[in-house]
């Protein structure tokens, strides 16, 4: 086949011999007809072409850099219109560094399935969420703050364009909403108002905060779309997720006594509310974590995704109950009992069949489960695409999916033909980027347990050569890395591979995606066999001849930050660099300063500190700080309620006073348990890569540190 080249400004490739023939004929003709002056002009054109052609070839092999963080766009929500002719979706667009610092934008698009046209309805500097269609496929409702609006409210925009229209104008943020299937009502949740006395005191400058006593409940309201009247449905509790029945009479809701994070994690229970009377009853006494649920088309059943017990760290098992229900939770069938996966989302195909997405190792699949049948049937094979939530209509499924080659785009999957189609290309710039090889890795832990993960090769990998390694640890631990697009500000994937690092991402025991038993293997054994799985994976890569054992680094956030601090102290002989982001350093003080103490107790420890203080202390990285020889970069959001910033201060002080290697502490003002602001994300990414390069891939003196300030211009 002929070599192909690209003519500047032309969106196609042509064979090289045609290019050469074209210019030789053109040169001869020009000389005969127009003489020397025109020939010189033409030669200039050839020179310009050669330069542009060379630049094009170079651009097709360009490596990913931290600056590309601001080009990575991700499709998020996807929703079919009721007539099936359109899909509304949101697109997360990074806020550029040359703008005022802030969060990313979340734009609104519509994809027309017939003519495959993509339309940006709200595609400027705006953010929307919770997109939903009206029953006539004419309007799209969403949450947002537009113009001078100070609180999050419900809006709608016509599907063929125009200006958004305000639907609610509440005094506090609207958090969630659902349009009723009959199109006559909107159920929405908003924060209750501060008391009049409290607001008056605030206005006078009395801004004392009373910890965990001043929360505002999340109340459910009902708006009549015809006369715009609003009535309050719930009081004295907090509604989190909710769904309408198809007849628009009942609302299933997850409700907790308090609007506190721990309650939202551990103490939500399933209720059914009569939308006319407001009377509610508990549907099932589900224990522990609860996530998504869905009414059957006839409203007689509810499928829900829940933890299997109070100690189950993942809400990843599938249950179905009658509405109303007469069985206790223990009497309900767990449709995924023994299943080596974690259910993410469930939808009804018909009154006897559900479809669910699930994590299975490093892959995501779709399965079909018929009521009464023993096993589910695989309908979308693993390894095709990575996604989580989905929408279903007329045997078509849409979702935001990613692969090793690209971030989230809009996908369509046909249940009849099993055809999978990517229908958007918001990241076409990646065609000019040279990406590294990536794939699934599996190895045996010391006790024989099979551990899976993802391995990304150095972009210029050469067989027989040893490379430095960055070990990326996911948080949770009840989460998992998938074999898709693992490149972001906090998951360095292709950014690190472009600098010729191996990137190893293990799904150690206690991760999700391998079933309840696997997830429970970390219970009461924090950083025990879990961490040994990481070490065993590193040893496997060293044995394969891939990795220089003296150039192994580790990094991660939250529980990944905990592992990174553990590596830099307890296992310091194994690691030449560590990056600790919003990580735990002292389990005793962490447990007494976190906003999720009950979650920590029920699904991780199984005991309170005073019941075995020695164990809790022994699993604390600061306990071993005096022996550390690992250069450690510590980073933390100053407003983190999950892992208090003092955890990083404790680690820094212990390493600074007693450790034997460089240490640096970076705080991010206004950031919480993870960075959302564009400048904070960029700073974190650049610092992290520089730290690993300095200590793993350079000849710089290891008793010093990289420059403390970033060197960049925008």
Q: Is the pLDDT of residue 17 over 70?
A: no
* The pLDDT value given to residue 32: 44
pLDDT band of 27, cuts 50, 70, 90: very low
Residue whose structure tokens are 């052609």: 53
pLDDT, tens only, 239-284: 999 999 999 999 999 999 999 999 999 999 999 999 999 999 999 9
Residue 613, CA distances (Å) to 247, 586, 591, 600 in order: 54, 12, 12, 15
Helix (H, G, I), strand (E, B) or coil at 235: coil
SS3 content of the chain, % helix, strand, coil (to 5): 25, 35, 40
pLDDT band of 6, cuts 50, 70, 90: very low
Residue whose structure tokens are 């000019």: 432
Token duo for residue 536? 């065993």
pLDDT band of 31, cuts 50, 70, 90: very low
Residue 638, CA distances (Å) to 104, 555, 562, 654 in order: 20, 19, 17, 19
User: What secondary structure does DSSP assign to 595-614, as a single string?
Assistant: S-HHHHIIIIISS-GGGSHH
Reported for 123-126, long-range contacts at CB under 8 A and 24+ positions apart, including other chains, are 123/91, 125/99
Phi/psi for 110 (5° steps) reads -130, 130
Angle of helix 559-569 relative to helix 529-543, nearest 10 degrees, comes to 70
Cα–Cα distance measured from residue 252 to residue 609, given in angstroms and rounded to the nearest whole number: 37
- 564 HSE (CA, 13 A, CB side): 31
Give the DSSP H or E segment for 218.
strand 218-224
* The pLDDT value given to residue 199: 86
The superfamily CATH assigns to domain 435-696 is Alpha/Beta hydrolase fold, catalytic domain (3.40.50.1820)
Per mean pLDDT, which range of 68-77, 114-123, 678-687 is the poorest?
Answer: 114-123
* The pLDDT value given to residue 243: 99
User: What secondary structure does DSSP assign to 432-443, as a single string?
Assistant: GEEPPPEEEEEE
Q: Is the pLDDT of residue 643 over 80?
A: yes
Domain boundaries, the chain: 4-60, 435-696
Cα–Cα distance measured from residue 596 to residue 641, given in angstroms and rounded to the nearest whole number: 9
Spatial CB neighbours of 401, under 8 Å, sequence gap ≥ 6: 385, 386, 387, 408, 409, 411, 422, 484
pLDDT, tens only, 371-399: 999 999 999 999 999 999 999 999 999 99
pLDDT, tens only, 99-143: 999 999 999 999 999 999 999 999 889 999 999 999 999 999 999
pLDDT band of 196, cuts 50, 70, 90: confident
Do 142 and 158 touch, CB atoms closer than 8 A? Answer: no
Token duo for residue 128? 């929307």
Helix (H, G, I), strand (E, B) or coil at 403: strand
Cα–Cα distance measured from residue 115 to residue 85, given in angstroms and rounded to the nearest whole number: 9
Cα–Cα distance measured from residue 256 to residue 171, given in angstroms and rounded to the nearest whole number: 23
Token duo for residue 666? 């970076």
Give the DSSP H or E segment for 648.
helix 646-658
What is the Rg, in whole angstroms, of the alpha carbon atoms belonging to the chain? 28
Do 188 and 142 touch, CB atoms closer than 8 A? Answer: no
Proportion of the chain above pLDDT 90, given as a percent: 89
Q: Is the pLDDT of residue 607 over 80?
A: yes
Token duo for residue 191? 């924060």
End-to-end Cα separation, the chain, in angstroms: 44
Q: Diameter of the chain by CA atoms?
A: 97
pTM: 0.90
Do 568 and 580 touch, CB atoms closer than 8 A? Answer: yes
pLDDT band of 11, cuts 50, 70, 90: very low
Cα–Cα distance measured from residue 194 to residue 87, given in angstroms and rounded to the nearest whole number: 38
Residue 545, CA distances (Å) to 493, 540, 673 in order: 21, 9, 37
Closest residue by Cα to residue 505 from 466, 560, 550, 468: 560
Which class for 657: exposed (0-12), middle (13-18), buried (19 or more C-beta within 10 A)? Answer: exposed
- Give the residue-averaged pLDDT of 563-591: 99
- Please provide the average confidence, as pLDDT, over all residues in the chain: 93
Cα–Cα distance measured from residue 235 to residue 244, given in angstroms and rounded to the nearest whole number: 19
pLDDT band of 38, cuts 50, 70, 90: low
Q: Is the pLDDT of residue 13 over 80?
A: no
Q: Is the pLDDT of residue 51 over 90?
A: no
CB atoms within 10 A of CB 181: 16
Closest residue by Cα to residue 175 from 226, 93, 238, 237: 238
């Amino acid at each position: 086949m002929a070599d192909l080249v690209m003519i500047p400004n032309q969106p196609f490739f042509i064979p090289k011999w045609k290019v050469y023939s074209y210019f030789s004929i053109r040169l001869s003709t020009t000389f005969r007809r127009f003489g020397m002056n025109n020939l010189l002009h033409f030669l200039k054109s050839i020179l310009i072409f050669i330069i542009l052609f060379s630049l094009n070839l170079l651009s097709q092999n360009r490596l990913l850099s931290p600056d590309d963080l601001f080009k990575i766009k991700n499709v998020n929500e996807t929703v079919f219109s009721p007539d099936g002719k359109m899909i509304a979706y949101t697109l997360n667009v990074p806020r550029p560094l040359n703008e005022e610092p802030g969060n990313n934008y979340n734009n609104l698009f519509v994809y027309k399935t017939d003519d495959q046209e993509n339309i940006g309805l709200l595609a400027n500097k705006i953010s929307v969420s919770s997109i939903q269609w009206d029953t006539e496929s004419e309007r799209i409702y969403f949450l947002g703050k537009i113009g001078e609006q100070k609180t999050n409210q419900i809006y709608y925009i016509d599907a063929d364009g125009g200006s958004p229209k305000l639907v609610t104008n509440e005094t506090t943020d609207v958090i969630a909403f659902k349009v009723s299937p009959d199109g006559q009502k909107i159920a929405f949740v908003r924060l209750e108002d501060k008391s009049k006395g409290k607001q008056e005191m605030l206005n006078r400058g009395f801004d004392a905060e009373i910890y965990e006593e001043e929360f505002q409940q999340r109340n459910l309201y009902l708006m009549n779309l015809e006369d715009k009247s609003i009535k309050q449905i719930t009081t004295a509790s907090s509604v989190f997720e909710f769904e309408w029945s198809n007849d628009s009479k009942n609302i299933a809701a997850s409700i907790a006594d308090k609007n506190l994070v721990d309650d939202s994690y551990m103490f939500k229970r399933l209720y059914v509310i009569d939308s006319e009377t407001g009377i509610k009853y508990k549907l099932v006494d589900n224990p522990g974590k609860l996530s998504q649920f869905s009414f059957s088309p006839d409203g007689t059943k509810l499928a829900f995704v829940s933890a299997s017990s109070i100690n189950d760290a993942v809400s990843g098992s599938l249950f179905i109950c009658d509405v109303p229900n007469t069985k206790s939770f223990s009497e309900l069938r767990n449709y995924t009992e023994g299943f080596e996966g974690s259910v993410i989302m469930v939808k009804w195909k018909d009154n006897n069949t559900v479809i669910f997405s699930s994590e299975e190792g490093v892959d995501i699949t779709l399965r079909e489960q018929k009521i009464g049948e023993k096993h589910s049937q695989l309908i979308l094979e693993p390894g095709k695409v990575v996604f989580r939530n989905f929408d279903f209509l007329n045997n078509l499924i849409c979702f935001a999916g990613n692969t090793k080659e690209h971030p989230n785009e809009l996908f369509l999957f046909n249940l009849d033909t099993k055809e999978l189609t990517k229908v958007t290309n918001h990241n076409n710039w990646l065609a000019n980027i040279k990406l590294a090889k990536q794939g699934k890795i599996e190895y045996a832990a010391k006790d024989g347990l099979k551990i899976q993960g993802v391995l990304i090769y150095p972009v210029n990998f050469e067989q027989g050569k040893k490379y430095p390694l960055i070990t990326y640890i996911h948080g949770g631990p009840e989460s998992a890395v998938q074999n898709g697009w693992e490149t972001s500000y906090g998951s360095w994937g292709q950014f690190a591979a472009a600098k010729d690092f191996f990137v190893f991402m293990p799904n150690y025991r206690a991760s999700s995606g391998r079933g309840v038993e696997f997830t429970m293997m970390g219970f009461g054994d924090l950083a025990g066999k879990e961490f040994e799985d990481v070490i065993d994976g590193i040893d496997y890569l060293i044995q394969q001849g891939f990795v220089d054992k003296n150039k192994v680094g580790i990094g991660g956030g939250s529980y990944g930050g905990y592992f990174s601090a553990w590596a830099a102290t307890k296992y310091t002989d194994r690691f030449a660099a560590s990056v600790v982001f919003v990580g735990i350093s002292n389990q005793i003080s962490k447990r007494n300063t976190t906003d999720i103490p009950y979650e920590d107790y029920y699904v991780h420890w199984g005991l309170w500190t005073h019941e075995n203080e020695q164990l809790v202390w022994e699993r604390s990285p600061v306990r071993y700080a005096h022996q550390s020889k690992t250069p450690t970069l510590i980073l933390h959001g100053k407003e983190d309620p999950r892992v208090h910033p003092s955890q990083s201060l404790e680690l820094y002080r212990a390493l600074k006073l007693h450790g034997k290697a460089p240490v640096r502490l970076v705080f991010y003002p206004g950031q919480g348990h993870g960075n959302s602001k564009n400048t904070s994300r960029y700073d974190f990414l650049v610092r992290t890569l520089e730290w690993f390069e300095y200590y793993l891939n350079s000849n710089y003196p290891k008793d010093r540190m990289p420059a403390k300030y970033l060197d960049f211009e925008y």
